[in-house]
Structure 1
Amino acid sequence: MTKPYVYVTRRVPEEALTPLRDFAEIHMWPEEEVPVSREELIKQAKKADALYTMLSDKVDAELMREAPNLKVVANLAVGYDNIDVNEATKRNIAVCNTPDVLSDTTADLTFALLMATGRRIVESAEYIKKGYWKNWGPLLLAGTDIHHKTIGIVGMGRIGTAVAKRATGFDMEILYHNRSRKEDVEKQLGATYASFDQLIEMSDYIVCLAPLTEETRDLFTEDVFKRMKSSAIFINASRGAVVDEEALEKAIVEKEIAGAGLDVFREEPIGEDHALLKHDNVVALPHIGSSSVETRYEMAKLVSRNIVHVLQGKEPEAIVNQEVIYKE
């Protein structure tokens, strides 16, 4: 009996593929940091029963039309805006992701980014490395406190909740905005629901953890930044496209906000000439929210298990389009 054909679009640890090894024929793009070309991805999709994908891989209607055997697209990410989910559902293709296993790790990074920006950690580290530290001064590289400040979390999903939990350790007042109220979070963590307008006007730290949807695309505009406190710090660890980057840079230049910490950008990767990198009060990271060794291994293994379950006609551990029906 012919084994299912699985194409892996980036080099991942061999250990992560263990659930697939005896079950499927696996072909893998050999590079870890260089994405598979569009041409090669379509070529492989033509014979694939499953695609093991990254956020950088565009799985759209064009590709699906070329993939008659495709039964599952499994993303190594909690996000899936690289996949045309509606098209996949029409074609009875399961779309899987990796929620839960990365929530705490991403929350750690988000709060670290908040702290690094607020306390000017990166700027201070560069200051001493460049030999600028000649003496001590009362306000030398003085940042802003984190404790007792107000954090406003836009998107109170699993990661947002984990960030709120960390904020309680700093005695922060927690505001949140979400599509729906989270009464359990309000009760457990003392968080307060606020409208988007209230949140951006009242918060000292505005943290975006919202998924990218038509409603959240370009959510943070020039007008939004103008309405933030001039002392506010903006943190984005969700998706780059929720922010108008030109408006954010203008807000930084005109001192409408105090700084920004960014783990994501509209077009990734960015180059050293990106406008936002010119500013000392912007901390920029290369989309490493879930990037701990432990979590990335768990995510990679979950992708493999999702694929195996779908190809066996079982419910995967994490599926985006629940309406896809599996035949026993």
Structure 2
Amino acid sequence: MARPTVWITRRLSDATLERAQRDYDCIINWEDRLSSADDIVAMSSRVDAIIPCHSEHFSTDVAARLDPRLKIIANHSVGVDHCDLPALNARGIVVTNTPDVLNDATAEIAMLLMLGAARRAVEGDRLVRSGSWDSWSPAFMVGKQVTGARLGIIGMGRVGRAFAAKARGFDMEIHYYNRARLDPELELGATYHGTIEALLGIADFLSLHCPATAETAGLMNAERFAMLPDGAVMVNTARGALVDETALCAALSSGKLAGAGLDCFADEPGGNPALATYDNVFMLPHIGSATVSTRDAMGFRALDNLDRFFAGQRPRDAL
């Protein structure tokens, strides 16, 4: 019996590619270039499965044009806002993701961004690197203390809870908003707020960990930034679509926000040049899950989903 053919759209970890080639006939994008909608449609007639990343977009139009040969899209990501799930499901295409395995890596990046924004890391690094550091005083480079502060988390899913666990190591007071209140064994003493607005008023630090949907687009806008305490710090390691970046710049310029830590942007790759003008914004190029062990785990989770599908079973992470 012929082995299924799988298209791997980006250069995944070496361990993932080795396992994939062992078990499947693979078409691998060794050059690691972006694929267009036409590329995706054309390839769908040659393969039984695709392992894409968030960089490949399966819109309504793309879904309608996919070849019937394609049976499963096993995403190498947790977020699936790049996939029109109803359109793909209507075509009978199974879609999976990779939950659980990147929680800690992403939470680590959120902690890095929070600390970097609070303690003026960008400004300090630039000062030393440029050779401009020529004085010191008790008033020099004074930042915002994380230890003991009130942390507001929007989206208390796997990553949000992993971030809360790390924040407790800094004795932070954890508050959160979620679509539903957590059970006590998951809440671990955190204070639940029934609305985002109720949470914002007490958040010295605010961290976003919710998916990008039609309901959450522009979640942090001018009105909601105004509800934060003066001098708050916002962190976003979820999706750029959650933040109105024009309103974010206004909040930074006015001093409403003391800083921001961002790993994702409305436009990716590239980011927002306007945000680059702020020394109090600590930015990274969407690398929340970029550790060797996490990339291996994500790739293996995607392959686990393929293995189950081609064995005639429902994939663990079918959506």
Report if TM-score (shorter chain) is over 0.5: yes
Find the counterpart in structure 1 of residue 211 from structure 2: 211
**CA distance in structure 2 between the partners assigned to 1:52 and 1:213 by the alignment:** 22
3-state secondary structure, aligned to 1:174: strand
**CA distance in structure 1 between the partners assigned to 2:208 and 2:191 by the alignment:** 16
After superposition, residues 63-212 of structure 1 pair within 5 angstroms as 63-64=62-63, 65-184=65-184, 187-188=187-188, 190-194=189-193, 195-212=195-212
Deviation at 1:186, TM superposition (A): 6.0
After superposition, residues 217-232 of structure 1 pair within 5 angstroms as 217-232=217-232
Find the counterpart in structure 1 of residue 241 from structure 2: 241
Find the counterpart in structure 2 of residue 12 from structure 1: 12
3-state secondary structure, aligned to 1:309: helix
3-state secondary structure, aligned to 2:153: strand
Find the counterpart in structure 2 of residue 285 from structure 1: 284
**CA distance in structure 1 between the partners assigned to 2:305 and 2:286 by the alignment:** 24
3-state secondary structure, aligned to 1:202: coil
Question: CA 1:313 to 1:17, structure 2 compared with 1: closer, same or farther past 3 Å?
Answer: farther
Deviation at 1:61, TM superposition (A): 3.2
Find the counterpart in structure 2 of residue 316 from structure 1: 315
**CA distance in structure 2 between the partners assigned to 1:162 and 1:171 by the alignment:** 15
**CA distance in structure 2 between the partners assigned to 1:13 and 1:293 by the alignment:** 8
State whether residues 12 and 295 of structure 2, in contact with CA within 8 Å, keep that contact through their aligned partners in structure 1.
no
Find the counterpart in structure 1 of residue 49 from structure 2: 50
Deviation at 1:208, TM superposition (A): 0.5
The size of the alignment, in residue pairs, is 317
Equivalent residue letter for 1:13:
S
Q: Give unmatched runs, 5+ long, in structure 1.
A: 321-328
**CA distance in structure 2 between the partners assigned to 1:81 and 1:301 by the alignment:** 21
Equivalent residue letter for 1:155:
G
Q: Which runs of 4+ in 1 moved over 6 A?
A: none
| More displaced stretch, 215-224 vs 10-19 | 10-19
Equivalent residue letter for 2:250:
K
**CA distance in structure 2 between the partners assigned to 1:14 and 1:36 by the alignment:** 21
State whether residues 13 and 295 of structure 2, in contact with CA within 8 Å, keep that contact through their aligned partners in structure 1.
no
Aligned-CA RMSD value: 1.5
**CA distance in structure 2 between the partners assigned to 1:156 and 1:69 by the alignment:** 38
Find the counterpart in structure 2 of residue 269 from structure 1: 269
**CA distance in structure 2 between the partners assigned to 1:307 and 1:187 by the alignment:** 34
**CA distance in structure 1 between the partners assigned to 2:166 and 2:301 by the alignment:** 26
TM-score of the pair, normalised by structure 2: 0.95
Identity, % of aligned positions: 36
Deviation at 1:142, TM superposition (A): 1.0
